[in-house]
Amino acid sequence: MSPVDYSEITLPADCAGLRLDAALARLFPEHSRSRLQGWLKSGAILLDGLPADAKRKVHGGERIFCAVLPAPTSATVAEDIPLPIVYEDDSLIVIDKPAGLVVHPGNGNERGTLMNALLHHAPQLAEVPRAGIVHRLDKDTSGLMVVAKTLAAQTQLVRALAARQVQRHYLALVHGQVATGGSIDAPIGRHPVQRIKMAVVKQGGKAARTHYAVRERFARATLLECRLETGRTHQIRVHMASFGHPLVGDPVYGKKKSGNALLDAFGRQALHAYRLTLAHPASGTEMTWESPLPVDFAALLEALRAG
């Protein structure tokens, strides 16, 4: 594949001490680390005009010469899967993801994912990394997600997420009585023993902060509104479990038996991304969307109120 455009960028001073590939990932958040490493190996990216190893430490001030290549067409198969679209224009799509829908294809989930559906709905997304997906929700978490329709929009949204300028609010039903609102500021990383899980860890974890407020109390559970300041894997689920109030229905971090049949029978983590606020990547206009609780979550709350 031949280069189609060339650009020269000076590494900012705050990249000092980083590996070259890490510095590039900061400069080009719309591209994966592995793609950037591949471009370094191929000579599509040069450091001060010369080939350089991805592991090389940088000092800031170096000149990056980048032959910007078109994003490769996704190998993911487009599938005609209904998409609950809340909003769409030339720059973005806002989707109200149902519980049970996997976001990215992976082992055991090559078909039937949100990415498969997006590629059918908007075939041009095959030219955008990750089909425009800039953040994710767990399979059994419902609610609002934003997808970029262009590389420029994706770059802007990824940077806004990194700068904590995108507001994501969730409704979470947790076990037990939560006395008052607050914040949990605890780093999250891979569980030291159970590698398929995440955990609050003292060393090697990434900074994670969740703010929460009490919306409604029940005899054995509390409905919380949670706001993410960071976006770590399983963040709300891990933080609430570490706080002693795991999410109702959470098969990984929750309780198997709580003493309440309604809570124990709920078949997924009771977590819904109900509000999303961001600056439009093209116009800069602040936009907000809200999603009503899905039927199963709303029915559980009604049953708890009646009980």
Q: Can you give the CATH number for the domain in which 240 is found?
A: 3.30.2350.10
211 and 134 part of one domain: no
114 and 13 part of one domain: no
Strand partners, 226: 170, 212
Taking CA atoms, 269 is separated from 35, 60, 109, in Å, by 34, 44, 20
Q: In 3-state terms, what secondary structure has residue 45?
A: strand
253 and 204 part of one domain: yes
49 and 21 part of one domain: yes
153 and 264 part of one domain: no
**Residues noted as catalytic:** 138
**Is 226 contained in some domain?**
yes
| Predicted local confidence at residue 107, as pLDDT | 67
Q: Which of 274, 273, 252, 243 is nearest to 175 (CA)?
A: 243
148 and 264 part of one domain: no
The list of the chain residues with pLDDT below 50 reads 1-6, 69-73
**Is 76 contained in some domain?**
no
173 and 286 part of one domain: yes
Entry field: residues in the chain: 307
- Range of 243's domain? 167-306
| Predicted local confidence at residue 30, as pLDDT | 60
173 and 271 part of one domain: yes
Q: Is beta strand 92-97 parallel, antiparallel or unpaired with respect to 85-88?
A: antiparallel
- Please report which residue ranges of the chain form alpha helices under DSSP H: 20-27, 33-42, 114-121, 151-162, 235-242, 261-265, 295-306
134 and 188 part of one domain: no
| Predicted local confidence at residue 173, as pLDDT | 98
Q: How many structural domains are present in the chain?
A: 3
What's phi and psi for 108, nearest 5 deg?
Answer: 85, -5
| Predicted local confidence at residue 237, as pLDDT | 97
Strand order in the sheet with 6-10: 6-10, 63-67, 45-47
216 and 203 part of one domain: yes
299 and 246 part of one domain: yes
